[in-house]
Amino acid sequence: MRFHHAALILALILGWNAMAHSQDAPRPPSDVIAVDQPNDVGNTVDVSWSLSPDDRADVSPRLVTRYDVYRRAVGEEEFVKVGDQPPGASTLADSNAVRDTEYLYQVVAVGPDEAESAPAAAAATVVPRMEYFRRDRAWFAVIVFCICSTVVAFIVIARSGRELYIRKIPGLEAVDEAVGRATEMGRDCLFVPGIMDINDIQTVAGINVLSRVSQLTAEFGARLEVPTARSLVMTAARETVEASYYAAGRPDAYNEDDIYYISDEQFGYVAGAMGAMVRERPAACFYMGVFYAESLLLAETGNSIGAIQVAGTAMPAQLPFFVAACDYTLIGEEFFAASAYLSGEASQLGSLRGQDVGKLLVAFLLLVGCSAATIAGLTDSDSAETALTFIKDHVLGDKGFLP
Amino acid sequence: MKRTVPLIIAGTVGFVLIVSYFIPYTESWGEDAMTWFNILAAIAFVLGAGNLVKMHLKKISDQQAGWGYSAITLAAFFFTLIVGMLKIGVTPSEKYPTNAWAGPYDQAGSAFRWVYDYLFLPLSATMFAMLAFYIASAAFRAFRAKNVEAIALLTTAFIVLLGRTYAGVWLTDWIPEESIGLEADALRLDNVTGTIMNTFNLAGMRAITIGIALGVASTSLKVLLGVDRSYLGSTDD
C-alpha cells in the first residue's frame, strides 16, 4: 500500500514538472527559410520564419520573448547563435557569414525564464555567394553611363572649337552687376558658401562661383568677406580666392583674414554671419551652397541692409525662401551651371549641352511611362501593363536589367 | 604640382566611390574613403578653432567694431572647451569607479551638459524662432499683387494657407460630398489645398529635382575629370 502511495506521489511530481515545462516553453516557429542575400559581397544570409503560434500580442505576459537564430556550417557539429529578434519579428539578416560556405540555419522561440522551444530547422542549406555587379542597380548604371557619356562627348565637341549656344541666366549676369555696385558704393561683398563640408557637391559648386566673384572683386578693388561653417571649406576658399587675386594681378590685395571660420553649429554660424552683415553692411551678398533653415535668416538680414542679393542652391525646400527674399536666385541646375557659364570656357560649356541631352532622355522616359500608364488605365491592354510594370519594377525599381 | 596631386586624389577617390556603388566587392573601399575624409575633417577642426581664436583676438586687440562680441565668443569657447575636456561635474562610471574621468563628458548633471541644456539649446531655439518673423516679412513682399503672376501666386498661397488651417475646413464643410453626380467635396478648401500641393506643386518640384540630379552628375564629372578646377584656385595647371 505504501509502495502504491509513493509511486502515485512520484508520478504526480513528474507529471507536474512536465506540465510546467510545457507551459514555459513556447511552441516552435515554422517554415524556416534561409536564402543568400542578392547583390552583396557574399557575407549575408536572409533568414525568415513563420511566427510561433504562441507569439501573440494580445496575451500578456507574452509567451514568446524573442527568437534566437542559430547556424552551423555543414561538417560542423554544433549550432552557433548568430542573432536574435524580438517577438513579432520574422526575419533576420546574418551578415557575418563566410562566402562560399554551406550553412544550415535553425530558429528557436524563447519564452519567459529562457525556456526554449524545439528548434525549427530550414529545409535546405544555403551557400552565400558574391555577386560581381549589383543587378538591382543595372538600369541606374545604364542611365548614368548614357548621361556621363553625353557630357563627355559634348566637352570633346566644344574643345574642337564648335560654337555652342547657351541661354542667358539672369542670376549669373547679375554677379558682375552686384560686385560693380558694391565697388561704386565703396562697400564690401559677402559670400556665404553654405553650411556643409567640402565633400558636398553643392559646396564645390559654390566654391566654383566664389572663384569668379573673387576674380571680379580683385579686378574692381572691392573687399570680399567669406565666413565659413567648416574648416576645410575655409581652406579651400582661401586657396580659390588667393589664386583669383593672383590671376587678376592683385596679390597684394588678398587678405586671408577676410576668409574665416565661425562655427560648425548651424545657428551659431548664422548668428555670426548675420552679425557681420549688420556691422559691415555689405552692398552685395552671395549665398551659394547648401542651406537649411538659415536661408531665410540670412536673406532677410541682407534685404534689411539693402544689399543686392544673389542666391544659388539645390535644396528644393529652401528655394522659395531665396526667391522671396533675394534679387536673383539660381534654381537647382542653374546653380550647377554657374561655374561653366561664368568661366565661358568651351570645355565647360559643353557639359551644359550634355545636361540638356540628359533632360531629353528623362523627358522621353517620362513620356513613355505616362503614355503606358494612361493606356493601361483606359484600356485592358496587356502590352501597356507589361511596359508599365517593366518601367516601375526594372528601370525605376530594383528587379534587375531584364525580367 | 600643387593642383595636380589634389586633382589625382579627387579623381581617384571619386571614381572609387562611383564603382563601389555598383560593385559589391568594392563597397568597403568607398567606406574607407569616407573614413579618410572624416579623419581629415577632424584634423581640420583644430585649424578652424585656431582661426577662430586668432580672428577674435585680433578684433579685440584692434578694438574693431563689435569687439565686445568677440570677447564673449572667446570666453564662451574656452569655458565650454575647458568644462568639456576636464569633464567638470562628471561622476566616475560604474565600470571604472576609481577613475574620476571615466564618465562621459556630456553626462546629465555635468557642467558641459548644463552649458548645452541651458545656454546652447535656448540660444539655438531663439534663432530658429526668429524665422517666424522673417517668414512674415518675406511673405508680405512676395505676395504683393503687382502683376498677373503675382496675383496668381497670392491667390494660390491664400488658398493653401487657409486650407491648412481649421478655418479652411470650417468654412467649406457645408459642401456636400456628392452633387449632381459629381464629387463636389473636391471643392472644399482642404481638398483644393491637397490638389494644389500634390499635383501642381509636386510636378514642379520633381522637375526641379530632375534638373538638380543632372546638374550634380555633370558637375561631379567635371570635377572628377579635372575639367573644372575652379575649386582648386585656378583653371591653369
Share of chain A above pLDDT 70, in %: 94
Nearest to A321 among B18, B55, B138 (CB): B138
pLDDT at residue A151, rounded to an integer: 87
The mean pLDDT of A334-344, rounded to a whole number, is 85
Closest chain A residue to B34, measured at CA: A199
Q: Are residues B152 and B77 in the same domain?
A: no
Q: Alpha-carbon distance B4 to A174, whole Å?
A: 32
Nearest to A148 among B217, B227, B230 (CB): B217
Residue A13, pLDDT above cutoff 70: no
Q: Report pTM.
A: 0.83
Say which residue, B86 or B143, is predicted with more confidence: B86
Share of chain B above pLDDT 90, in %: 46
Q: Residue A329 pairs with which residues in a beta bridge?
A: A311
Q: Are residues B213 and B189 in the same domain?
A: yes
Cβ contact B185:B177 at 8 Å:
yes
- In this prediction, residue A347 has a pLDDT band, given cuts at 50, 70 and 90, of confident
Go through the domains of chain A in sequence order and give each one's CATH number.
26-121 (2.60.40.10), 164-344 (3.40.50)
Nearest to A243 among B24, B55, B233 (CB): B233
Burial of A218 (0-12, 13-18, 19+ CB in 10 A): buried
Mean pLDDT of chain A: 90
Q: Are residues B26 and B68 in the same domain?
A: yes
The mean pLDDT of A196-208, rounded to a whole number, is 92
Q: Are residues B226 and B151 in the same domain?
A: yes
Residue B105: partners with Cβ closer than 8 Å, 6 or more residues away: B84, B85, B87, B90, B112
Handedness of CA B93, B121, A288, A217 (dihedral sign): negative
Phi, psi of B202 (to 5 degrees): -65, -40
**B contact test, residue of A145, A257, A339, A353 with most B CBs within 10 A:** A339
Residue A116, pLDDT above cutoff 70: yes
Torsion of CA A310, A315, A320, A326, to 10 degrees: -10
Chain A residues whose CB is inside 8 A of the B232 CB are 239-240, 243
Q: Is B136 inside any structural domain? A: no
Q: Are residues B153 and B104 in the same domain?
A: no
Say which residue, A306 or B236, is predicted with more confidence: A306
Q: Alpha-carbon distance A333 to A172, whole Å?
A: 12
pLDDT at residue B9, rounded to an integer: 87
Q: Is B137 inside any structural domain? A: no
Mean pLDDT check: name the lowest of A13-17, A151-155, A370-374: A13-17
Q: Is B177 inside any structural domain? A: yes
pLDDT at residue B185, rounded to an integer: 83
Burial of A349 (0-12, 13-18, 19+ CB in 10 A): buried
Q: Between chain A and chain B, how many beta carbons pairs sit less than 8 Å apart? A: 204
Q: How far is B214 from chain A (nearest CA, A)?
A: 6
Q: Alpha-carbon distance B73 to B71, whole Å?
A: 5
Cell of B15: 571614381
Q: Is B212 inside any structural domain? A: yes
Mean pLDDT of chain B: 88
Q: Is B111 inside any structural domain? A: yes
Residue with cell 575633417: B41
pLDDT at residue A108, rounded to an integer: 96
pLDDT at residue A371, rounded to an integer: 93
Residue B222: partners with Cβ closer than 8 Å, 6 or more residues away: A151, A339, A340, A348, A351, B228
pLDDT at residue B232, rounded to an integer: 72
Domain housing B152: 143-232
Q: Are residues B81 and B95 in the same domain?
A: no
Interhelix angle B27-62/A231-247, rounded to 10 degrees, is 70
Chain B residues whose CB is inside 8 A of the A321 CB are 135, 138
The mean pLDDT of A305-326, rounded to a whole number, is 94
pLDDT at residue A6, rounded to an integer: 56
pLDDT at residue A9, rounded to an integer: 56
Q: Are residues B120 and B153 in the same domain?
A: no
C-alpha separations of A343 from A10, A206, A337 in Å: 96, 14, 10
Share of chain B above pLDDT 70, in %: 97
Q: Is B216 inside any structural domain? A: yes
pLDDT digits (tens, 9 = 90+) for A223-233: 999 999 999 99
Q: Are residues B59 and B99 in the same domain?
A: no
Nearest to B235 among A242, A268, A343 (CB): A343
Cell of B197: 500641393
Contact between B216 and A201 using a beta-carbon 8 Å cutoff: yes
Q: Is B66 inside any structural domain? A: yes
Q: How many domains does chain B have?
A: 3
Residue B189, pLDDT above cutoff 60: yes
Nearest to A134 among B24, B138, B205 (CB): B24
Q: Are residues B57 and B101 in the same domain?
A: no
Q: Is B138 inside any structural domain? A: no
- In this prediction, residue A22 has a pLDDT band, given cuts at 50, 70 and 90, of very low
The mean pLDDT of B78-90, rounded to a whole number, is 92
The mean pLDDT of A323-339, rounded to a whole number, is 91
Q: Alpha-carbon distance A227 to A259, whole Å?
A: 6
pLDDT at residue A17, rounded to an integer: 46
Contact between B218 and A343 using a beta-carbon 8 Å cutoff: no
A113: left (phi over 0), alpha (psi -120 to 50) or beta: left
Strand A189-192 and strand A224-228: the pairing is: parallel
Cell of A254: 588678398
The highest-confidence range among A127-141, A339-353, B30-44, by mean pLDDT, is A127-141
Q: Alpha-carbon distance A231 to A270, whole Å?
A: 16
Residue B45, pLDDT above cutoff 80: yes
Q: DSSP label at B155?
A: H
Note the ipTM here.
0.87
pLDDT digits (tens, 9 = 90+) for A23-72: 578 999 999 999 999 999 999 999 999 999 999 988 888 899 999 999 99
Chain A residues whose CB is inside 8 A of the B131 CB are 293, 296-297
Q: Taking the CA atoms of chain A, what radius of gyration do you get in angstroms?
A: 33
Strand A80-85 and strand A66-73: the pairing is: antiparallel
Q: Are residues B81 and B98 in the same domain?
A: no
